[in-house]
Structure 1
Amino acid sequence: MDIKEIQNLIKFVAKSGASEVKLEMEDVKITIRTGSGKTETTIVQAQPMQAAPQAAPVPTAPVASEPIATKSNEVDNSKLVEVKSPIIGTFYRKPAPDKPSFVEVGSTIKTGDTVCVIEAMKLFNEIESEVSGKIVKVLVDDSSPVEFDQPLFLVDPS
């Protein structure tokens, strides 16, 4: 099913006055809901089975170098402290989209400094550091969901 057919289907459902239409085919599921002056469309398309075998081959040279890098990181990480998420929600590095990040890699922080914001149930919770030190690594991408007790930052307390 191509885009033109989907657009025609949406127009047809909107004109028909139906409140909801579900269409399921072998590789596509479409749900169209109308009402309150707007139309909502959900399209779920199955991925082709061929995609998995193509992604499987991995070059052997980089794999050989990764364990060496991991071992050196393990030694360095032994003295680092993790700043963890106290709640489930969405992680934000900035107080607002047009503002600078609370902390960057290399920033020096003190106990009680705000390092990020986590949105939970439409409330923005400022997360404060429980350790003083230097930010070594940011472990979570901006606007990503985080779990309880998930590491957010690595801090060098020395």
Structure 2
Amino acid sequence: MSRMLVDADAIRALADILTETGLTEIEIAEKDNRIRVARGASGPVVHAPAPVAAAAPATSAPVAAPVDPANHPGAVNSPMVGIAYLTPDPSSPPFANEGQNVVAGQTLMLIEAMKTFNQIKAPRSGKLTRFLVSSGDPVEFGEPLAIIE
């Protein structure tokens, strides 16, 4: 079982940046380490999903439980098993970008299943706040792919 190293000072600094700028989330990544701080209705929520090789003592800073994207009301779920692609081909720009406003019916990505490329379209209009998969990732039926708020 891997342990995660939590840098409480980095989390506090990111939370301060959220407060100062009015942003709703911020993420920093370095090699295999990633810290994401998001502010919900009740305040900052911290996500630190990347495992770290070194162990650290527990800190006294409270860390909220991560929100399950599958339960998010704006989740766009996979209608099939396959491989997700965010671009029509490797040399093309993505169908949509995080932070972009999308309209209902707009193609967000493709899922390749049995050598057929299936368009995954936005079920509703809104802001595409996050992709939960990367190009080339295998996806399962019902797996959340993106969040539209």
TM-score range, shorter chain: 0.5 to 0.7
Tell me the residue number matched to 1:145: 138
TM-superposition CA deviations, 1:48-84 (whole Å, max 9, x none): xxxxxxx8752235x765723x46xx4xx98750011
Q: Write the distance in 2 (CA, Å) between the matches of 1:151 and 1:58.
A: 31
Tell me the residue number matched to 1:67: 63
Q: TM-score, normalised by structure 1?
A: 0.53
Q: Give unpaired runs (5+ residues) of structure 1.
A: 1-54
- Secondary structure of the structure 1 residue equivalent to 2:145: strand
Tell me the residue number matched to 1:99: 92
Tell me the residue number matched to 1:112: 105
Residues 101 and 57 of structure 1: CA distance in aligned 2, closer, same or farther (over 3 Å): same
Kindly report the root-mean-square deviation, in angstroms, between the aligned alpha carbons of the 2 structures.
Answer: 2.6
Segments ≥4 residues shifted beyond 2 Å: 55-58, 63-68, 77-80
- Secondary structure of the structure 2 residue equivalent to 1:119: strand
Which of 82, 85, 88 is the equivalent residue of 2:81?
88
Q: Give unpaired runs (5+ residues) of structure 2.
A: 1-51
How many equivalent residue pairs? 96
Contact 2:72–2:147 (8 Å) recurs in 1: no
Q: Write the distance in 2 (CA, Å) between the matches of 1:112 and 1:134.
A: 14
Residues 94 and 64 of structure 1: CA distance in aligned 2, closer, same or farther (over 3 Å): farther
Give the partner amino acid of 1:133: G
Residues 109 and 146 of structure 1: CA distance in aligned 2, closer, same or farther (over 3 Å): same
Residues 88 and 64 of structure 1: CA distance in aligned 2, closer, same or farther (over 3 Å): farther
Give the partner amino acid of 1:135: L
Residues 78 and 121 of structure 1: CA distance in aligned 2, closer, same or farther (over 3 Å): closer
Identical aligned residues as a percent: 34
